[in-house]
Copies of this chain bind each other. A is one copy, B any other.
Amino acid sequence: MAGNTFGTLFRFTTWGESHGPAIGVIVDGVPPRLPLAEPDIQQWLDKRRPGQSRYTTQRQEPDQVKILAGTFNGETTGTPISLQIDNVDQRSKDYRNIADRFRPGHADYTYWKKYGIRDYRGGGRASARETASRVAAGAVARKVLGPDIAIRGALVQIGPHPIDRATWDWAETERNPFWCPDAATAVRWADYLDGVRKAGSSAGAVIEVVASGVPAGLGEPVYDKLDGDLARAMMTINAVKAVEIGAGFATVALGGEENGDEMRMVDGKVKFLSNNAGGILGGISSGQDIVVRFAVKPTSSILKPMRTVDSEGNEVEIETHGRHDPCVGIRAVPVGEAMMACVLADHLLRYRAIGG
């Protein structure tokens, strides 16, 4: 398979199944002498950790990270950083009924077709549990980026309900269980999701991740463009079906003169008058905020019965019990932030290589 590695210079490799003894990530290419200790990583894992509200899975995982290699006296040494998280709350017996049945919308069927074998317990390798490793890698990436680059994410839509962007307040994202930047919408989402959960259904979401303070010059045309790598990064997150940069699909309906971000000089510096480009032109960062949005489909594991087939070719129905997020998109916020951090760290190192 050899598909479990991401990045060129800042490069990480993840491993582990949902119900195996542990999951982990090797982060390679980290410059030496950066301060790094377990709490630096734990804070971001805590943000993603399940079981923190009734809107996410009730699986209780402390997600306690251990650094097994790559630091000395609290600093990175330039050698690979090995991070490990034990799985402690597996309930594999919940998954017996999916051992032979393919959940619609899930990877069950395609893993079985591709590999002829699958660890069905909790979704195995295809479980969103893998994203904890991404968050751990992202914590290291933030160290590479340094304090001047800020990466923040927010949920901007759940089901058919978008936020009101006019009332956007980053501080609000810390005050509700949805990372919602708009307090009024957060209240409505709570009601909406309670209904979804009671109905045994699930809901999708749109996440927006913004990186501020990114210098101009990151991105390697033409196939390693910054937006190309971001698109891949986000699309590989479980359940993501769409990615857009800046104004994204909305640019289509604009005239060229509306879409192009005009420039003026302010205090001797170039200032753009808008940011339809999402901070990327020709695949290279422009110095504006990098803005990425991605769509997470509704959780595929639901209580409602659905028609499917089994591995013997019988037509069957399936209801998925286990413990699932009614809106898996909520916990995708810290994951999206982490992937943004990793892509930027990789491109920062690549830019330095040619003198940037």
Check: A185 CB closer than 8 A to any chain B CB. no
A258-300 contacts to B (CB < 8 Å): 258-265, 268, 270, 273, 276-278, 280-287, 295-300
Copies of the protein in its oligomer: 4
Pairwise interchain contact A5-B3, C-beta atoms closer than 8 A? no
A78 to chain B, nearest CB (A): 4
Which residues of A, 1-49, contact B by the 8 Å Cβ criterion? 1-11, 13-17, 20-24, 26, 28-33
A160 surroundings in chain B (CB, below 8 A): 252-253
A256:B304 contact, CB within 8 angstroms: yes
CA distance A14 to B226 in the complex (A): 18
Cβ-based interface call for A188 (8 A): no
Q: Tell me if B241 and A235 are in contact (CB < 8 A).
A: no
Partner of A253, one of B117, B118, B159, B270: B159
- Are the C-beta atoms of B33 and A4 separated by less than 8 Å? no
Q: Using a CB-CB cutoff of 8 Å, which residues 100-150 of chain A contact chain B?
A: 102-107, 109-111, 113-119, 124-126, 130
> Which residues on B sit within 8 Å (CB–CB) of A126?
221-222, 282
Query: Is B308 a contact of A255 with CB atoms below 8 Å?
Result: no
Chain B neighbourhood of A287, CB < 8 A: 113
Asked whether any CB of chain B lies closer than 8 Å to the CB of A225, the reply is yes
Contact of A110 among B1, B81, B235, B284 (CB under 8 A): B284
B4 touching A223, Cβ below 8 Å: yes
Query: Is the CB of A201 closer than 8 A to any CB of chain B?
Result: yes
Q: Is A196 a contact of B255 with CB atoms below 8 Å? A: yes
Instruction: Give bound CA distance, A315 to B313, whole Å.
Output: 55
In chain A, positions 205-219 with a C-beta closer than 8 Å to chain B are: 205-206, 216-217, 219
CB within 8 Å for A77 and B115 given contacts A270-B109, A282-B107: yes
Residue pair B309, A270 in contact (C-beta under 8 Å): yes
Residue from the list B110, B265, B307 in contact with A309, Cβ < 8 A: B265
Q: Is the CB of B256 within 8 A of A110?
A: no
